[in-house]
Amino acid sequence: MKTSKQGLPEEVAGEYSCLKGFREKQMAYELCSIRMEDSIPIMGWRNKQLNVLRQKKPLTQEDQLTYFEKIVQPQFPKEKPDQILLRFTHRNDLIGYGGLVHLNWDDRRGEVSFLLEPERGQDLKLYEKECKIFMNLLMKCAFITLNLNKISTEAYAHRGFHVRALESSGFTREGVLREQTLVQGDWTDAVIASCLKSEYLDRVKSRQE
């Protein structure tokens, strides 16, 4: 892969072929396929938010570029990729990313991931608003474009604002994994929540009536 003097990829990777050009907007927000150029901003966000991720140590630029080149980019042409990462923008500025990981195409389900730029995440009202918008756009991608039947997520209980945003977006709490992980020396629960395609379609129909 050719890179610039700063070590960033020169070209933008192609879109996921299975998304068939998915590019969805809500107000000034947009969701579409991740780009190789997003790798370094995302690395910085992840390194600043280790307490909300499964990641245990800071990433280096080499780590991140290798991951995008060896793991992310090869998924683009696959009919049934292992994961789908999406860029979340506001007025064309990258403010977050996420998508569907651990995809199981036989059972038509996947796990949702989401990470917002750290400074925006400090404003809890803004975080809840933008998390809900992201999830709404992601659901259209998952249930309409990809025809999945179920999406699920695991949210740490110490982030109550995130759990509330998920539930108000249409996720139903399935259970709690007690003391599932250590966060800054304290045990925290993990809230398991999911949404079904039928539930999503019912909400869409009710909004149209």
Domain residue spans in the chain?
A: 17-152
Model pTM?
A: 0.89
Q: What is the pLDDT of residue 209?
A: 74
Instruction: Give the C-alpha separation, 176 to 174, whole Å.
Output: 7
**Do residues 61 and 43 touch, judged by C-beta distance below 8 A?**
yes
pLDDT in tens, 114-158: 999 999 988 999 999 999 999 999 999 999 999 999 999 999 998
Q: What is the pLDDT of residue 65?
A: 94
17-152 is a CATH 3.90.1170.50 domain: no
For 10, residues 6+ apart whose C-beta sits below 8 A from its C-beta are 2, 3, 4
DSSP-assigned beta bridge partners for residue 38: none
21 pLDDT higher than 60: yes
* Radius of gyration of the chain from its Cα atoms, rounded to whole angstroms: 17
Q: Mean pLDDT in the chain? A: 90
3 pLDDT higher than 50: no
Q: How many C-beta neighbours within 10 Å does residue 190 have?
A: 16
Buried b (16+ CB within 10 A) or exposed e, 25-48: eeeebbbbbbbbbbbbebbebbbe
Instruction: Give the C-alpha separation, 119 to 4, whole Å.
Output: 27
